[in-house]
Structure 1
């Protein structure tokens, strides 16, 4: 018969119950006549209730339009009866600021919880014991264990080697003795470092901007090339800028960086440099989409778009008549096929 594994259920925070006037993340379980019964996700799914009168500031015409079974969202704590285990909550009293703060805290806590649960399962220890030894002390010291784990990625010893916990034992004389032990054993430390580094090592963000670049000057293609060089020169070692032709006169500027604000700022400077250079030769730069982060899905759609354009160009086989070129001027010359290294 297989042995019983470790208990992997535990609340995220040291306090068993939330404080009054605190925003918490809940999941709706079912809706009754008096209100909605929910589980408090951060507190090991203990039950709470939102009265119908606390669902909305406006007159309620349809409960289902305000709250749905299975939905996860922040609400405000109104009352906590620790003796009876009653928790009254409100949806209508939670502000936009409360929602933002709650979601940020919850997303960090959810990642910490996932890491702790994985470690507990790996080393076969109860999850609450692991929280008592590691996570809750880190919450107290760093404000949030997430912040401590960010340091663990690069300097685990400074965070983990300082943690201790107390064990009460009976001495030879029969008296109770309190012994202070390292909270993190070599086995736990090895598992925790591996999982934290895998889950929390930052990945570069891709920042992108879409522009139109035209120049009707006699040497327009050369001036576009110079403007593109100016744009790329605005990049840095940590935030290099690349510019690529999509289809005349549309270009995209991209960079990859760990710092979103730095990436957006760098692309903005690149656009300014490119604009200054092309306008010196009576050209024009138009920003179609300002610098912003793009997801892997966005990037794949963009690559698919490029591939479709390449196929369309191959099918046309260079049979476009000259009238189109006259309408758009030198800004429509295909820089990629004009011998330029872009």
Structure 2
């Protein structure tokens, strides 16, 4: 491999990487960079933690995995210096999620490869097509789980591959949030029960990324539950539904009261 090719395989300064601690010395630790063909990097003692460090192995030990930030790259010599203390909690969390997703995507593609008896070249072609529209392979499986397999129609893939991708996406539990409340609704009109039932039936739906369900608790109480990908979408749908019901009931001279209940995160799938 030429020096230019070797240099192109080095990480960039500021990049967050996964490393394995290889050897701890009095001055720091030598690590191997998992995503860069296990090339060696150095973690100086001054970049392990703030303040005086009495025992390096309190922070890093041989064979331990660590999330590090690349702070210097000497492309001519192929040397990489890293930092542990400069990695923020958010950067560490984000990197670990990325690695976990990458591992899951590899498992999905390995399963599809074995099931359909695909070659490495065929798998690479599928991944290339996906990466034209997504930053990571895992993202398309998560998108199928959220939005349905119809989105695969815009990809030039065989029906067998599409079907296998849909099946693998079913293994993903899509996180959802749930907002809840109780409505107290009454009407003194002779057909008051029918008015209430028809009003509530007109609000139950699955649209705009949210699902709205209403159940009877016991006169005059009805529970409304809205599930969505995040609280912003769920709250908007809840507010729209409640105001629609309030307006319809009050137009019919009925009584309406709404009591919020505690929201929660749930999993779907």
Classify the secondary structure of the residue corresponding to 1:32: strand
CA-to-partner distance for each residue in 1:186-241, whole Å, 9 max, x for gaps?
A: xxx566434322223687765422435568x997xx99998797566434343442
- Per the alignment, residue 325 of structure 1 pairs with none
Shift in Å, 1:116: 3.2
Give the 3-state SS of the residue equivalent to 2:259 in structure 1. Answer: strand
Matched, 1:116 2:109: yes
> Cα 1:137–1:231, aligned 2, differ >3 Å: closer, same or farther?
closer
> Residue 207 of structure 1 contacts residue 264 of structure 1 at CA under 8 Å; is this kept in 2?
no
Are 1:196 and 2:172 matched, yes or no? no
RMSD (Å), alpha carbons: 5.2
Whole-angstrom CA distance in 1 between matches of 2:32 and 2:72: 15
8 Å CA contact retained: 1:212, 1:286: yes
With normalisation by structure 2, the TM-score equals 0.58
Q: How does 1:217-296 map to 2 (within 5 A)?
A: 233-238=202-207, 239-244=210-215, 252-255=223-226, 262-273=233-244, 284-290=257-263, 292-295=264-267
Report the 3-state secondary structure (helix = DSSP H, G, I; strand = E; otherwise coil) of the residue aligned with 1:115: helix
- The separation in 1 between residues aligned to 2:61 and 2:218, in whole angstroms, is 46
- Could you say if the C-alpha distance between residues 250 and 155 of structure 1 is closer, same or farther in structure 2, counting changes exceeding 3 Å? closer
1:248: how far off?
A: 10
Aligned equivalent of 1:144, options 135, 138, 145:
135
Contact 2:211–2:226 (CA<8 Å) still a contact in 1?
yes
| Higher CA-based Rg | 1
Q: Figure out how many residues of one structure are paired with residues of the other and give that number.
A: 246
Structure 1 stretches of 5 or more lacking a match?
Answer: 1-14, 162-188, 298-342
Q: Tell me if the contact between 1:209 and 1:252 (Cα under 8 Å) persists in the aligned partners.
A: no
Choose which of 84, 87, 103 in structure 2 pairs with 1:91: 84
SS of structure 1 residue aligned to 2:14:
coil
The answer to whether the 8 Å contact 1:119/1:191 transfers is no
Render the CA deviation track for 1:133-169: whole Å, top value 9, x for unaligned: 4535754x446253677699547686446xxxxxxxx
Structure 1 residues 286 and 20: CA distance shift in structure 2, 3 A: same
Deviations 1:229-258 (A, max 9, x none): 756643434344223467999975334567
Matches within 5 A, 1:107-186: 108-122=101-115, 123=117, 125-126=119-120, 129=121, 133-135=125-127, 139=131, 141-142=132-133, 144-146=135-137, 153-154=149-150, 159-160=155-156
TM-score between both structures, scaled by the size of structure 1:
0.49
Deviation string 1:1-57 (CA, Å, 9 cap, x unpaired) is xxxxxxxxxxxxxx6442221123x25556724445555444455554433322334
Counterpart CA distance in 1 for 2:58 and 2:83 is 16
Higher strand share: 2
